[in-house]
Amino acid sequence: MKSLMFGELQFIKELPAADSIADINITGTPGCKIINPEDFRNWFSTASAILPANTDDWHYSPFCSGSFSCNNEKYTFSLFLGGRGLLILPNGEKGLFSFQLKITE
């Protein structure tokens, strides 16, 4: 599916396993708290791929982005309020996922 916001989107059949994620780098958007790598790993452990829907109708704001490695390959992500995310695979394909927002203290 082609999205005005993200470009061409694919369904990601298998997300990387959260326990195999390493080298997590996170950047917050202005005015938003930057999450820590542990929070990201916890959130990603709840992630599930979602079908490319009409993201041009999303009313979610991005609150952080970053990258991580898994099996010696680099992935890039953006997280949105409302528990949605964009994942860019090492081959450049883009897909969407949902996750549960929870903060560790």
Give the model confidence (pLDDT) of 21-54 as tens digits.
999 999 887 766 678 888 889 889 999 998 887 6
- Distance between CA 37 and CA 53 in Å, rounded? 28
- Distance between CA 62 and CA 64 in Å, rounded? 6
Q: What pLDDT shows up at residue 20?
A: 95
Residue 12 has pLDDT above 80, yes or no: yes
Per-chain mean pLDDT for the chain? 85
pTM of the predicted model as reported, rounded to 2 decimal places: 0.85
Encoded tokens for 105: 């203290």
C-alpha distances out from residue 16 to 13, 28, 77, 82, 87, Å: 10, 22, 12, 21, 10
Among 23-37, 58-72, 81-95, the range scoring the smallest mean pLDDT is 23-37
